[in-house]
Amino acid sequence: MRLDRPHRSIRSGPRGRHHLAPLASLAVVVVGTAVLFPSLPADAAQAPVGLGSAGSFAVLSGAGITNTGPTTITGDVGTFPTPSETGFGSVTLGGTNHVGDAVTQQAKTDLTTGYNTAAGAGPATAVATELGGRTLTPGVYNSPTLGLTGTLTLNTLGDPAAVFIFQASSTLITASSSSVIVLNGGTACNVYWKVGSSATLGTGSHIVGSVLALTSITATTGATIDGRLLARNGAVTLDHNTITAQTCAAVTATPHTNTGVTAPTPTGNGLGSGTAVPGASGSPTPTGLAVTGFDPRLPLLVGGLLLVSGIVLLGVANRRRVRA
């Protein structure tokens, strides 16, 4: 007569514990790795748009530049293939006038490359035409047309290399006295407005970033631009404006965990650390921390500790299995 042996579960007894120890250690390693590298490919920040030689230009045109009244331009200017400049007797230029020369021709070629790069950036978040009254975090945003009434706030979440790209299939129109402000250590170098036709900047308005228009750009009376006006095919029209093209250093994009998400508007302003922006109010927010005060290094520390602990536990478990 056959006597059945009692069933032994791997969950009980010394042998069962030997099986469970490596599994528990492996789980610690998996969790630590997930914390240390949370969805890195999906959450990687948008790279800056390379402008090449066009980056030294504050105003670049394909069909001439017309100015009315006293205008101050910091950066180079140029127009090609139409080498026409009108009203430059009242322009204060802090740069070089490359009208029609080889430098401008190369800049126009680089502008085309930059425009196409901005147009193809993504994945993009669809937004309503009106941007006024919103606070946006780093990412790519698109709409058939873009307009701005009031204030648009760009929150870098403490990353000075944060990139914002706005894609308008057709026009960009900003209302009188409207403004764009950047919070928490941002820079105009990393804000781009790709415009599928023409851009019009309203009277007394303030915009941050490089406007890359397929056709023309019109800056009406008193509009100020912290960035660039770059028109591929049409003319640039100026009227008593201040245009300041920053010298932009190469930056490395860093990952964000909430790219493209609307965030609450914090107090403070900051184009750079504690730099006042026209139309902004409040006290500067320290650079290097998100508006919540959360230190982005904490997940790396926790993940690293979990990962090391898991590896040590795996080693101990394997040694015990060998001895057993």
User: Would residue 219 count as lying in a domain?
Assistant: yes
Do 113 and 183 lie in one domain? The reply is: yes
Could you tell me which residues are beta bridge partners of residue 126? 142
Per the structure, how many domains does the chain have? Answer: 2
Stretches where the chain sits below pLDDT 70 are 1-45, 249-310, 312-314, 316-318, 320-324
User: Would residue 66 count as lying in a domain?
Assistant: yes
Gyration radius (Cα) of the chain, Å: 27
Per-residue three-class SS string for 265-324: CCCCCCECCCCCCCCCCCCCCCCCCCCCCCCCCHHHHHHHHHHHHHHHHHHHHHHHHHHC
List Cα–Cα distances, 84 to 61, 123, 206, 234, in angstroms. Answer: 10, 39, 26, 12
Do 88 and 209 lie in one domain? The reply is: yes
Do 318 and 176 lie in one domain? The reply is: no
- Side chain identity, residue 60: L
Do 72 and 205 lie in one domain? The reply is: yes
* Listed residue (205, 244, 199) closest to 222, CA to CA: 205
Do 312 and 178 lie in one domain? The reply is: no
Domain boundary among 207, 229, 244: 244
Do 105 and 226 lie in one domain? The reply is: yes
Contact between 137 and 261 (Cβ < 8 Å): yes
pLDDT the model gives residue 186? 80
Query: In angstroms, rounded to a whole number, what is the distance separating the alpha carbons of residues 316 and 323?
Result: 11
User: Would residue 94 count as lying in a domain?
Assistant: yes
Domain boundary among 213, 244, 275: 244
Residue 262 carries which DSSP code?
A: B
pLDDT the model gives residue 187? 84
User: Would residue 170 count as lying in a domain?
Assistant: yes
Query: In angstroms, rounded to a whole number, what is the distance separating the alpha carbons of residues 134 and 26?
Result: 45
Do 132 and 198 lie in one domain? The reply is: yes
Structural domain boundaries enclosing 300: 294-324
User: Would residue 180 count as lying in a domain?
Assistant: yes
User: Would residue 12 count as lying in a domain?
Assistant: no
Do 90 and 149 lie in one domain? The reply is: yes
pLDDT the model gives residue 322? 63
Do 169 and 81 lie in one domain? The reply is: yes
Give the H or E element holding residue 263.
none
Do 196 and 312 lie in one domain? The reply is: no
pLDDT the model gives residue 314? 67
Domain boundary among 244, 265, 286: 244
pLDDT the model gives residue 311? 73
User: Would residue 310 count as lying in a domain?
Assistant: yes
Do 168 and 304 lie in one domain? The reply is: no
User: Would residue 260 count as lying in a domain?
Assistant: no
Name, in order, each residue with C-beta under 8 angstroms of 98's C-beta and a sequence gap of 6 or more.
57, 76, 77, 78, 104, 107
Do 232 and 133 lie in one domain? The reply is: yes
- Side chain identity, residue 183: L
pLDDT the model gives residue 15? 52
